[in-house]
Amino acid sequence: MNLALFDLDNTLLSGDSDFEWAQFLISKGVLDREVHEARNQAFYDDYKAGTLDIHAFLKFQLAPLARHARTELDAWHREFMDTRIRPIIGAPARRLVQQHLDAGDLCALVTATNSFVTGPICREFAIPHLIATVPAHENGQFTGAPRGMPAFKAGKIVRMNAWLEETGLWWGAFARSTFYSDSHNDLPLLELVTHPVAVDPDDTLRAHAARKGWPILSLR
Protein backbone atom coordinates (compact mmCIF):
# COMPACT_ATOMS: atom_id res chain seq x y z
CA MET A 1 0.00 0.00 0.00
CA ASN A 2 1.14 3.54 -0.79
CA LEU A 3 0.42 6.73 1.17
CA ALA A 4 -0.28 10.05 -0.59
CA LEU A 5 -0.36 13.24 1.49
CA PHE A 6 -1.31 16.65 0.18
CA ASP A 7 -0.77 20.10 1.63
CA LEU A 8 -3.65 22.42 0.74
CA ASP A 9 -2.81 26.12 0.64
CA ASN A 10 -0.76 27.18 -2.39
CA THR A 11 -0.37 23.47 -3.21
CA LEU A 12 -3.71 22.01 -4.28
CA LEU A 13 -5.14 25.54 -4.16
CA SER A 14 -3.73 28.48 -6.10
CA GLY A 15 -4.13 30.55 -2.94
CA ASP A 16 -4.45 30.29 0.83
CA SER A 17 -7.77 29.21 2.33
CA ASP A 18 -6.94 30.61 5.78
CA PHE A 19 -6.19 34.04 4.33
CA GLU A 20 -9.19 33.91 1.99
CA TRP A 21 -11.59 32.95 4.79
CA ALA A 22 -10.66 36.04 6.81
CA GLN A 23 -10.90 38.20 3.69
CA PHE A 24 -14.30 36.69 2.94
CA LEU A 25 -15.57 37.54 6.44
CA ILE A 26 -14.25 41.08 6.02
CA SER A 27 -16.09 41.40 2.71
CA LYS A 28 -19.30 40.23 4.41
CA GLY A 29 -18.90 42.85 7.15
CA VAL A 30 -18.55 40.11 9.78
CA LEU A 31 -15.06 41.38 10.60
CA ASP A 32 -14.06 45.03 10.70
CA ARG A 33 -11.93 45.79 7.64
CA GLU A 34 -9.79 48.46 9.29
CA VAL A 35 -8.93 46.24 12.26
CA HIS A 36 -8.62 42.82 10.65
CA GLU A 37 -7.29 43.28 7.12
CA ALA A 38 -3.85 44.49 8.16
CA ARG A 39 -3.55 41.77 10.83
CA ASN A 40 -4.61 39.09 8.36
CA GLN A 41 -1.94 40.24 5.90
CA ALA A 42 0.68 40.45 8.65
CA PHE A 43 0.01 36.88 9.79
CA TYR A 44 0.17 35.68 6.18
CA ASP A 45 3.49 37.45 5.66
CA ASP A 46 4.84 35.85 8.86
CA TYR A 47 3.76 32.43 7.60
CA LYS A 48 5.59 32.89 4.33
CA ALA A 49 8.67 34.11 6.21
CA GLY A 50 8.60 31.11 8.56
CA THR A 51 8.11 33.31 11.64
CA LEU A 52 4.40 32.75 12.30
CA ASP A 53 3.32 32.53 15.94
CA ILE A 54 0.74 29.81 15.36
CA HIS A 55 -1.00 30.32 18.71
CA ALA A 56 -1.41 34.08 18.17
CA PHE A 57 -2.70 33.38 14.68
CA LEU A 58 -5.22 30.78 15.86
CA LYS A 59 -6.52 33.16 18.50
CA PHE A 60 -7.17 35.64 15.68
CA GLN A 61 -8.49 33.10 13.17
CA LEU A 62 -10.76 31.02 15.43
CA ALA A 63 -12.36 33.87 17.39
CA PRO A 64 -15.05 34.58 14.74
CA LEU A 65 -16.17 30.94 14.87
CA ALA A 66 -17.07 31.34 18.54
CA ARG A 67 -19.24 34.41 17.94
CA HIS A 68 -21.67 32.86 15.47
CA ALA A 69 -24.03 29.89 15.31
CA ARG A 70 -22.84 26.86 13.37
CA THR A 71 -25.79 27.12 10.97
CA GLU A 72 -24.76 30.67 10.07
CA LEU A 73 -21.13 29.67 9.71
CA ASP A 74 -22.05 26.75 7.46
CA ALA A 75 -24.14 29.03 5.22
CA TRP A 76 -21.23 31.44 4.91
CA HIS A 77 -18.89 28.57 4.11
CA ARG A 78 -21.06 27.40 1.23
CA GLU A 79 -20.82 30.89 -0.25
CA PHE A 80 -17.08 30.91 0.48
CA MET A 81 -16.64 27.67 -1.45
CA ASP A 82 -18.48 29.09 -4.47
CA THR A 83 -16.84 32.51 -4.56
CA ARG A 84 -13.35 32.00 -3.13
CA ILE A 85 -12.30 28.34 -3.24
CA ARG A 86 -13.60 26.61 -6.37
CA PRO A 87 -12.17 29.41 -8.56
CA ILE A 88 -8.67 28.63 -7.22
CA ILE A 89 -8.85 24.85 -7.72
CA GLY A 90 -7.15 24.04 -11.00
CA ALA A 91 -7.69 21.00 -13.19
CA PRO A 92 -4.09 19.78 -12.67
CA ALA A 93 -4.64 19.63 -8.90
CA ARG A 94 -7.84 17.65 -9.33
CA ARG A 95 -6.08 15.25 -11.73
CA LEU A 96 -3.17 14.71 -9.34
CA VAL A 97 -5.46 13.74 -6.48
CA GLN A 98 -7.57 11.52 -8.73
CA GLN A 99 -4.48 9.68 -9.98
CA HIS A 100 -3.62 8.67 -6.41
CA LEU A 101 -7.21 7.73 -5.61
CA ASP A 102 -7.45 5.63 -8.78
CA ALA A 103 -4.19 3.88 -7.83
CA GLY A 104 -5.74 2.81 -4.54
CA ASP A 105 -3.37 4.90 -2.42
CA LEU A 106 -4.34 5.89 1.09
CA CYS A 107 -4.88 9.63 0.66
CA ALA A 108 -5.03 12.41 3.23
CA LEU A 109 -5.05 16.19 3.22
CA VAL A 110 -2.56 17.45 5.81
CA THR A 111 -2.97 21.15 6.56
CA ALA A 112 -2.37 23.70 9.29
CA THR A 113 -5.62 25.42 8.38
CA ASN A 114 -8.45 24.53 10.73
CA SER A 115 -10.82 21.69 9.94
CA PHE A 116 -13.93 23.91 9.78
CA VAL A 117 -12.45 25.79 6.83
CA THR A 118 -10.82 22.78 5.20
CA GLY A 119 -13.36 19.99 5.72
CA PRO A 120 -15.58 20.97 2.78
CA ILE A 121 -12.50 21.60 0.61
CA CYS A 122 -11.22 18.12 1.42
CA ARG A 123 -14.59 16.69 0.36
CA GLU A 124 -14.48 18.76 -2.85
CA PHE A 125 -11.36 16.82 -3.81
CA ALA A 126 -12.91 13.52 -2.62
CA ILE A 127 -9.91 13.01 -0.34
CA PRO A 128 -11.16 10.62 2.34
CA HIS A 129 -8.99 11.75 5.28
CA LEU A 130 -8.23 15.16 6.79
CA ILE A 131 -5.41 15.88 9.22
CA ALA A 132 -5.80 19.52 10.26
CA THR A 133 -5.76 21.92 13.17
CA VAL A 134 -8.95 21.21 15.13
CA PRO A 135 -11.08 24.07 16.51
CA ALA A 136 -12.47 23.08 19.91
CA HIS A 137 -16.23 23.10 20.42
CA GLU A 138 -18.68 22.51 23.23
CA ASN A 139 -22.38 21.72 22.81
CA GLY A 140 -22.22 22.43 19.09
CA GLN A 141 -20.55 25.83 19.52
CA PHE A 142 -16.94 26.63 18.71
CA THR A 143 -14.95 27.94 21.67
CA GLY A 144 -12.46 30.04 19.71
CA ALA A 145 -9.50 27.88 20.80
CA PRO A 146 -7.72 24.94 19.14
CA ARG A 147 -7.94 21.40 20.49
CA GLY A 148 -4.61 19.66 20.85
CA MET A 149 -1.50 20.47 18.88
CA PRO A 150 -1.92 22.56 15.74
CA ALA A 151 -1.02 20.71 12.54
CA PHE A 152 1.78 23.17 11.80
CA LYS A 153 5.45 22.46 11.00
CA ALA A 154 6.48 19.44 13.15
CA GLY A 155 2.91 19.38 14.50
CA LYS A 156 1.89 17.80 11.20
CA ILE A 157 4.02 14.79 12.09
CA VAL A 158 2.48 14.56 15.56
CA ARG A 159 -1.01 14.66 14.06
CA MET A 160 -0.05 12.16 11.36
CA ASN A 161 1.42 9.72 13.89
CA ALA A 162 -1.75 9.90 15.99
CA TRP A 163 -3.92 9.27 12.93
CA LEU A 164 -1.82 6.34 11.77
CA GLU A 165 -1.89 4.83 15.26
CA GLU A 166 -5.69 5.15 15.38
CA THR A 167 -5.96 3.31 12.05
CA GLY A 168 -3.57 0.55 13.12
CA LEU A 169 -0.84 1.67 10.73
CA TRP A 170 2.66 3.11 10.92
CA TRP A 171 5.09 4.67 8.46
CA GLY A 172 6.73 1.31 7.74
CA ALA A 173 3.39 -0.10 6.57
CA PHE A 174 3.71 1.76 3.27
CA ALA A 175 5.87 0.77 0.30
CA ARG A 176 5.92 4.44 -0.72
CA SER A 177 4.87 7.62 1.06
CA THR A 178 4.52 10.87 -0.89
CA PHE A 179 3.92 14.39 0.39
CA TYR A 180 3.18 17.34 -1.87
CA SER A 181 3.80 20.83 -0.47
CA ASP A 182 4.73 24.35 -1.53
CA SER A 183 6.15 25.58 1.78
CA HIS A 184 9.41 25.42 3.69
CA ASN A 185 7.20 25.28 6.80
CA ASP A 186 6.49 21.67 5.77
CA LEU A 187 10.11 20.54 5.66
CA PRO A 188 9.72 18.28 8.75
CA LEU A 189 7.09 16.14 7.01
CA LEU A 190 8.76 16.40 3.60
CA GLU A 191 11.94 15.01 5.14
CA LEU A 192 10.04 12.12 6.72
CA VAL A 193 8.28 10.63 3.68
CA THR A 194 10.03 8.47 1.12
CA HIS A 195 9.01 10.69 -1.82
CA PRO A 196 8.81 14.43 -1.07
CA VAL A 197 7.53 16.64 -3.91
CA ALA A 198 7.84 20.42 -3.99
CA VAL A 199 4.79 21.98 -5.65
CA ASP A 200 5.11 25.55 -6.95
CA PRO A 201 7.52 25.98 -4.03
CA ASP A 202 8.56 29.12 -2.20
CA ASP A 203 12.16 30.18 -2.71
CA THR A 204 13.45 28.42 0.41
CA LEU A 205 11.79 25.11 -0.43
CA ARG A 206 12.83 25.37 -4.08
CA ALA A 207 16.48 25.74 -3.11
CA HIS A 208 16.22 22.89 -0.59
CA ALA A 209 14.51 20.63 -3.14
CA ALA A 210 17.20 21.38 -5.71
CA ARG A 211 19.95 20.48 -3.24
CA LYS A 212 18.18 17.24 -2.30
CA GLY A 213 17.22 16.29 -5.84
CA TRP A 214 13.50 16.29 -5.01
CA PRO A 215 10.97 16.57 -7.85
CA ILE A 216 9.56 20.07 -8.39
CA LEU A 217 6.03 20.14 -9.81
CA SER A 218 3.72 22.94 -10.92
CA LEU A 219 -0.07 22.66 -10.65
CA ARG A 220 -0.73 26.18 -11.91
Q: For residue 46, indicate whether it is catalytic.
A: no
Q: How far apart are CA 214 and CA 41, in angstroms?
A: 31
From the list 7, 16, 186, 200, the catalytic residue is 7
132 close to 111: Cβ distance less than 8 angstroms: yes
Q: How far apart are CA 203 and CA 186, in angstroms?
A: 13
Q: How far apart are CA 113 and CA 19, in angstroms?
A: 10
Q: How many CB atoms lie within 10 A of CB 172?
A: 7
Q: For residue 7, indicate whether it is catalytic.
A: yes
DSSP H or E stretch at residue 207: helix 203-212
From the list 9, 16, 186, 202, the catalytic residue is 9
Residues acting as catalytic residues: 7, 9
